[in-house]
Amino acid sequence: MNKRGPKPKIRSRAKSSPIPDPPGHLSDTERTEFVRVANVLHDAGLLSAADVDIIALYARWHGSWTQANEHVAEHGQVITTKTGAIKPNPSVNISNTASREMLKCLNALGMTPASRKAVERVERHEDDPIAKLMAW
């Protein structure tokens, strides 16, 4: 418990929102990840219209993480500069940053073991005005 009291429980919906199309600004790889995560959330009854931006943000970080890891796999953890100096591969830092940001997104979406413990399933009623407002 922190100074402001316990963290609120994340509420899931027994009936998820329909799976949205990925935003147009995502790359093909990022779109694939967006759809994968949206499907996982939908199947768990956790997807809502409010999640689109955080899923897109996660997909962008996942794309950066994937690209950085591919660069490290190809060039190694250290690189040699034009002057012959050996220095850490900047892609390692990019990968580490992306990992941290992806974890924040996954926590926000209730997709880690620790954050899933806070998820509480609730029924969504068809006459719920908030549900109608948030409908796609």
Mean pLDDT, rounded, for 97-118: 91
Residue 103 in domain = yes
DSSP for residue 19? P
Q: Is residue 4 within 8 Å of residue 114, measured between CB atoms?
A: no
Place of tokens 């719920």: 128
Residue 3 in domain = no
pLDDT at 14 over 50: no
Q: Alpha-carbon distance 90 to 83, whole Å?
A: 17
Residue 1 in domain = no
Residue 4 in domain = no
Q: What is the pLDDT of residue 82?
A: 94
Q: Count how many domains the chain has.
A: 1
Q: Alpha-carbon distance 73 to 76, whole Å?
A: 6
Q: Alpha-carbon distance 65 to 60, whole Å?
A: 9
pTM of the predicted protein model? 0.75
Place of tokens 């919906």: 13
pLDDT digits (tens, 9 = 90+) for 31-44: 999 999 999 999 88
Domain of 81, in residue numbers: 10-134
Q: What is the pLDDT of residue 6?
A: 58
Mean pLDDT, rounded, for 6-22: 63
